[in-house]
């Protein structure tokens, strides 16, 4: 019996290898070289399931070339592992397009009806993209978003400090809550869909099932769909009577969908999935920025000094003996004259960014006149590979350098940005750069600056884990930790008082390395 089982197993393995050879035989010699998995046919799928996006580092090292192919049966993904190829990918943006994924997301995540799904296959994604870009461009609409976001941030930080003498705070949970509440107030107004803690909790539950919903059959218990439905219901209620205080961004989003022929229910659901890119990416980015900053006492001390000497934080003495001090955070100065805090933020993105950007090959494309990408297959650009290129980032590319994005002596801000722009991709790559990057960066910098000045944050256990386990199953651009960490939050007594924000205008941009 054992012999027969061994024969069957050997036969199946032989068949798998034969099938793998068959599918490989269809490759055009001009296509990027195919990397053979250890296990035929499904080896790369198993690798991605086990290691998440970090699997691309292993395959890129094994390939030893700037672009290669990963295959599963007749399905191919071209992996561009070099920043040198980014300009060529951008040049062919019409043929190497992100648009097909927007239609897929509308159905898989947004539960789009058949009618809505068909409409998303037309020009609607382009119309929505243009509307979002205009609403988030520097100007009065972005100013309004930032002002309302800042007001809510002050509330959540004050609540955090008020409870600092009680139980410890779960840092990831707090970062998620702060981002959801601040961003929701900005986009939807104070009466937003996430006021109910159950809806907010359901949102994060839903996020853990995104991969399952993308595949379509893995959510066998239906818990992910149930959590999503609770979020949908909150949005349907909100969208049935959008308040006047709702932002221009939200109103335009609904207008464009409505004029395209999308039903009211579908409009509400599509508004709900709009949060996937904002909440689920900003929250872990905030978490890790705080982690990297507060785990380095010397850098934290320098950031505090920078906030004061730059004029970003101003102290107004009390007018009367018994009145409290007033502190003002000038956001325009924070964005433009605090290079060390910005550098810590961007180095956090560089070293912890994991998820690749996607493109579908809409027709045969010759990249750099030598790499043939065949129609119907896919292209991925793994940022965590490009962010470790020594030819861009130097011999310390694999290390966290808090000063990396601070202009060097004799080097202007523009020179520094030109040097790093081609290899810094956490916000995507042109023409698909995240349109909300200025808003999100401002939000994270405000929270980090306020906490740096007002709080001392340390792990309840007393030691920072230098290499915590990560949840690579999460589809966020920065993987969150597998285990949330309880933090002790102490109030800095010299900085107790009334805090205000001086927002300024959005014309003063955050000088991000990506542009």
What tokens does 366 get?
A: 């010759």
Distance of alpha carbon 290 from alpha carbon 273, whole angstroms: 26
pLDDT of residue 410: 64
DSSP structural state of residue 109: T
| 90 and 151 both lie in a single domain | no
- Is the pLDDT higher at 108 or at 49? 108
Q: Could you report the per-residue pLDDT of 100-111, keeping only the tens digit for each? A: 889 999 999 999
Range of the domain at 438: 114-353+388-422+425-502
What tokens does 158 get?
A: 């004050």
pLDDT of residue 119: 96
Residue 14 has pLDDT above 50, yes or no: no
Residue 23 has pLDDT above 60, yes or no: no
**Cβ atoms within 10 A of the Cβ of 140, count?**
10
Contacts of 173 (CB under 8 A, 6+ apart): 484
User: Would residue 109 count as lying in a domain?
Assistant: no
What tokens does 350 get?
A: 């560089």
Q: In percent, how much of the chain has pLDDT > 90? A: 67
Q: What is the CATH number of the domain that holds 334?
A: 1.10.630.10
Distance of alpha carbon 321 from alpha carbon 326, whole angstroms: 13
The H or E element spanning position 8 is helix 2-24
Residue 188 has pLDDT above 70, yes or no: yes
Band (19; pLDDT cuts 50, 70, 90): very low
Band (53; pLDDT cuts 50, 70, 90): confident
Q: Which residue from 262, 273, 287, 85 is spatially nearest to 173, judged by alpha carbons?
A: 287
The H or E element spanning position 254 is helix 248-259
How many structural domains compose the chain? 2
Q: Could you report the per-residue pLDDT of 225-252, keeping only the tens digit for each? A: 999 999 999 999 999 999 999 999 999 9
The H or E element spanning position 456 is strand 455-459
Look at residues 97, 128, 159 and tell me which one is the last residue of a structural domain: 97
| 122 and 88 both lie in a single domain | no
Residue 20 has pLDDT above 60, yes or no: no
What tokens does 303 get?
A: 């950031």
Q: Residues marked as binding for heme?
A: 434
Q: Could you report the per-residue pLDDT of 386-407, keeping only the tens digit for each? A: 999 999 999 999 999 999 999 8
Task: Indicate the range of 78-82, 179-183, 301-305, 405-409 predicted with least confidence.
Answer: 405-409
Q: Is the dihedral of CA 80, 81, 83, 84 positive or negative?
A: negative
**Cβ atoms within 10 A of the Cβ of 242, count?**
16
| 92 and 119 both lie in a single domain | no
Q: Which residue from 376, 429, 427 is spatially nearest to 91, judged by alpha carbons?
A: 429
Band (267; pLDDT cuts 50, 70, 90): very high
Distance of alpha carbon 31 from alpha carbon 24, whole angstroms: 11
Long-range contacts of 195-199 (CB under 8 A, 24+ apart): 196/234, 198/230, 199/230, 199/231, 199/234
pLDDT of residue 421: 62
Band (216; pLDDT cuts 50, 70, 90): confident
Look at residues 33, 66, 97 and tell me which one is the last residue of a structural domain: 97
Band (355; pLDDT cuts 50, 70, 90): confident
| 444 and 327 both lie in a single domain | yes
| 193 and 50 both lie in a single domain | no
Q: How far apart are the first and last CA of the chain?
A: 66
Q: Could you report the per-residue pLDDT of 421-453, keeping only the tens digit for each? A: 668 999 988 788 899 999 999 999 999 999 999
Distance of alpha carbon 367 from alpha carbon 373, whole angstroms: 7
pLDDT of residue 9: 37
User: 52 exposed, middle or buried (CB, 10 Å; 0-12, 13-18, 19+)?
Assistant: buried
Look at residues 97, 126, 148 and tell me which one is the last residue of a structural domain: 97
Band (419; pLDDT cuts 50, 70, 90): low
| 72 and 152 both lie in a single domain | no
Q: Could you report the per-residue pLDDT of 139-176, keeping only the tens digit for each? A: 899 999 999 999 999 999 999 999 876 668 999 999 99
| 191 and 238 both lie in a single domain | yes
What's the whole-number mean pLDDT along residues 372-397? 93
**Cβ atoms within 10 A of the Cβ of 137, count?**
12
Band (6; pLDDT cuts 50, 70, 90): very low
pLDDT of residue 414: 59
Band (8; pLDDT cuts 50, 70, 90): very low
Q: Residues marked as binding?
A: 434
Q: Are 477 and 353 spatial neighbours (Cβ–Cβ below 8 Å)?
A: yes
Most confident of 9-13, 21-25, 288-292, 379-383: 288-292
| 68 and 127 both lie in a single domain | no
Q: What phi and psi, each to the nearest 5 degrees, are found at residue 416?
A: -65, -40
| 58 and 171 both lie in a single domain | no
Q: Are 510 and 442 spatial neighbours (Cβ–Cβ below 8 Å)?
A: yes
Most confident of 416-425, 433-442, 463-472: 433-442
| 38 and 122 both lie in a single domain | no
Q: Are 53 and 62 spatial neighbours (Cβ–Cβ below 8 Å)?
A: no
What's the whole-number mean pLDDT along residues 167-186? 95
pLDDT of residue 420: 63
pLDDT of residue 3: 43
Average predicted confidence (pLDDT) for the chain:
88
What's the whole-number mean pLDDT along residues 489-500? 94
| 127 and 92 both lie in a single domain | no
Band (318; pLDDT cuts 50, 70, 90): low
What's the whole-number mean pLDDT along residues 304-315? 96
pLDDT of residue 170: 95
Beta strand 67-72 with 313-316 is: unpaired
| 270 and 126 both lie in a single domain | yes
User: Would residue 103 count as lying in a domain?
Assistant: no
What's the whole-number mean pLDDT along residues 81-94? 92
How far is C-alpha 328 from the chain's CA centre? 29
């Amino acid at each position: 019996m054992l012999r027969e089982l061994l024969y069957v197993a050997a036969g199946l393995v032989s068949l798998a290898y034969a099938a793998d050879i068959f599918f490989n035989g269809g490759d055009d010699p001009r296509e990027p070289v195919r990397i053979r998995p250890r296990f035929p046919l499904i080896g790369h799928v198993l690798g991605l399931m086990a290691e998440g996006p970090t699997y691309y580092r292993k395959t890129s090292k094994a390939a030893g070339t700037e672009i290669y192919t990963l295959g599963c049966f007749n399905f191919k993904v071209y992996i561009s592992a070099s920043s040198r190829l980014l300009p060529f990918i951008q040049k062919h943006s019409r043929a190497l397009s992100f648009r097909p994924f927007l239609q897929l997301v509308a159905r898989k995540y947004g539960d789009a009806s058949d009618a809505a799904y068909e409409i998303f296959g037309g020009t609607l994604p382009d119309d929505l993209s243009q509307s979002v870009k205009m609403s988030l461009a520097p100007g009065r609409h972005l100013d309004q978003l930032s002002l309302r976001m800042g007001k809510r941030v002050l509330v959540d930080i004050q609540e955090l400090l008020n409870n600092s003498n009680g139980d410890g705070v779960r840092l990831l949970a707090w970062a998620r809550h702060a981002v959801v509440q601040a961003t929701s107030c900005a986009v939807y107004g104070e009466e937003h869909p996430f006021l109910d803690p159950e809806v907010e909790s359901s949102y994060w539950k839903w996020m853990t099932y995104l991969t399952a919903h993308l595949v379509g059959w893995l959510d066998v218990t239906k818990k992910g769909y149930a959590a999503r439905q609770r979020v949908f219901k909150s949005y349907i209620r909100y969208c049935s009577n959008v308040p006047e205080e709702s932002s221009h961004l939200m109103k335009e989003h609904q207008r464009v969908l409505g004029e395209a022929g999308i039903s009211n229910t579908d409009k509400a659901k599509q508004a709900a999935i709009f949060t996937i890119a904002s909440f689920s990416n900003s929250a872990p980015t905030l978490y890790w920025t705080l982690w990297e900053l507060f785990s380095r006492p010397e850098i934290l001390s320098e950031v505090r000094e920078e906030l004061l000497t730059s004029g970003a934080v101003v102290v107004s003495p009390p007018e009367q003996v018994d009145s409290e001090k007033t502190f003002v955070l000038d956001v325009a100065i924070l964005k433009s004259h605090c290079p060390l805090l910005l550098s810590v933020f961007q180095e956090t993105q560089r070293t912890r960014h994991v998820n690749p950007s996607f493109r579908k090959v809409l027709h045969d494309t010759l990249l750099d006149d030598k790499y043939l990408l065949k129609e119907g297959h896919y292209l991925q650009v793994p940022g965590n590979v490009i962010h470790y290129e020594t030819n861009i980032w130097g011999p310390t590319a694999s290390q966290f350098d808090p000063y990396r994005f601070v202009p060097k002596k004799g080097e202007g801000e523009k020179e520094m940005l030109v040097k790093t722009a081609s290899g810094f991709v956490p916000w995507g790559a042109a023409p698909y750069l995240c349109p909300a990057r200025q808003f999100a960066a401002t939000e994270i910098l405000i929270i980090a600056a306020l906490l740096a000045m007002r709080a001392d944050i340390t792990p309840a256990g007393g030691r920072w884990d230098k290499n915590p386990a990560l949840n690579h199953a999460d589809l966020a651009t920065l993987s969150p930790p597998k285990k949330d960490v309880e933090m002790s939050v102490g109030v800095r007594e010299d900085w107790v008082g009334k805090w205000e924000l001086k927002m300024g205008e959005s014309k003063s941009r955050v000088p991000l390395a990506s542009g």
